[in-house]
Amino acid sequence: MKVAFFDSKEYDQNSFEIANSAGKYEISFYETRLTKDTCRLAEGCDVVCVFVNDDVNRDVIDELVKMNVKLIALRCAGYNNVDIQYAYGKIHVVRVPAYSPYAVAEHAMALLLTSIRRIHKAYIRTKDFNFSLNGLTGFDLHGKTVGVVGTGKIGRIFIDICRGFGMNVIAYDKFPAKDSGIEYVDIDELWRRSDIISLHCPLTDENRHMVNAESIAQMKKGVVIINTSRGALIDAEALVEGIKMRQVGAACLDVYEEESNVFFHDYSGHIVDDDVLARLISMPNVIVTSHQAFLTNEALANIADTTFGNIEEFFDKEYSINEICYKCPELANCKQEHDKKCF
């Protein structure tokens, strides 16, 4: 079984080589992203394994089908970078729906604490033996209202963490979790009431740029916005304007809508030509991490094990519990029980 890994880094290679210690799979690792220009690297392979910034569009799907690649295995939960509807009937797609929800939820809280208690600024100061406290005043989380958008596994774990800090929690989800004890409100009420807003939902056509100029105008002055989900949930230019107008008090971003050509690469010796990202990074009340919320040893091991499990199920059992298509429940009223292939 030959598998081509695209957009792979050292940490990917280590975890997948450990998971493949029995040598069941013949693996090729490529640092380049999967695009129409690079998909030829998968020639002769049964599977391509892709990550969040690989561009699995119509042209790529057609090329993979021509090369007789039988499976696209996402090693992530989100699949907005795959043309799921076009893939239906041509090539099967599987994903890793959960690898470590604790990793992402904990990173979201780490970003929040770092921001509001100015930990990043204090760290830099004390490295220079500057022990002044000027400009480092933060605020208590206890008693603040946090609005959580999306109450899947990650969102609910983040809610538990927030409750541990004594925060008041409200949430919005198109499909509320039953018997969860969570106070659900409509999205406009969440914007209005929240001191802190954290996004934990997948990206769809419906919620793209859900945080925009209009929604920011509804929020409390000084609101803190956290995004560890998908960059395009936020209109980055509107966020910049919201920060400049002092409407947004702070932003904690592990994702960015135009991250695909920047994140996971070292540009420290280069000039980044994304002016919006450059402006965000330059702002003192913005923290940007490079899509690293998932990056723990536990998560990497789970991703590797689940990915290989998906591949094994697909070829050995003729189905995969983690297959996705445009008819799946998140997108339509599909009755598929995932006890057979979707087509």
DSSP state, residue 7: S
Among positive and negative, which fits the CA dihedral 270, 274, 277, 281? positive
DSSP run (H or E) holding 73? strand 71-74
Instruction: State the CB neighbour count (10 A cutoff) for residue 26.
Output: 13
Reply yes or no on whether 40 is catalytic: no
Residues in the chain with pLDDT < 50? 331
Tell me what pLDDT residue 341 has.
84
What class has domain 2-99+297-324? alpha beta
Q: Tens digit of pLDDT for each residue in 137-176?
A: 999 999 999 999 999 999 999 999 999 999 999 999 999 9
User: In this predicted structure, what is the pLDDT of residue 320?
Assistant: 84
Q: Is the dihedral of CA 201, 205, 211, 214 positive or negative?
A: negative
Terminal CA-CA length for the chain: 22
Q: Domain ranges in the chain?
A: 2-99+297-324, 101-288
**Strand spans (E) along 100-233:** 145-149, 168-172, 196-199, 223-227
Query: Please, what's the b/e burial string for 290-323 (b: 16 or more CB within 10 A of its CB; e: otherwise)?
Result: ebebbbbeebbbbbbbbbbbbbebbeeeebbebb
pLDDT of res. 318 = 79
Among residues 334, 299, 329, the alpha carbon closest in space to that of 75 is found at 299
pLDDT value at residue 336: 66
Domains 2-99+297-324 and 101-288 agree in fold:
yes
Q: Which residue has the tokens 């929604």?
A: 215
Catalytic position from the list 33, 75, 95, 291: 291
Question: Is 265 within 8 Å of 292 (Cβ atoms)?
Answer: no
Catalytic residue among 106, 230, 257, 323: 230
Please count the helices (runs of H) and the strands (runs of E) in the chain: 11, 12
Which residue is it, tokens 């979201």? 108
Residue 334, pLDDT score = 65
> pTM for this one?
0.89
Determine which one of 63, 106, 257, 259 is catalytic: 259
DSSP letter assigned to residue 333: -
Q: Which residues are registered as beta bridge partners of 27? A: 3
Taking only the tens place, the pLDDT of each residue in 9-59 is: 999 999 999 999 999 999 999 999 999 999 999 999 999 999 999 999 999
Question: What topology is assigned to 101-288 in CATH?
Answer: Rossmann fold (3.40.50)
Is there a catalytic annotation at residue 259? yes
Distance (Å, whole) CA 109 – CA 6:
30
Active site residue 230: yes
pLDDT at 333: 59
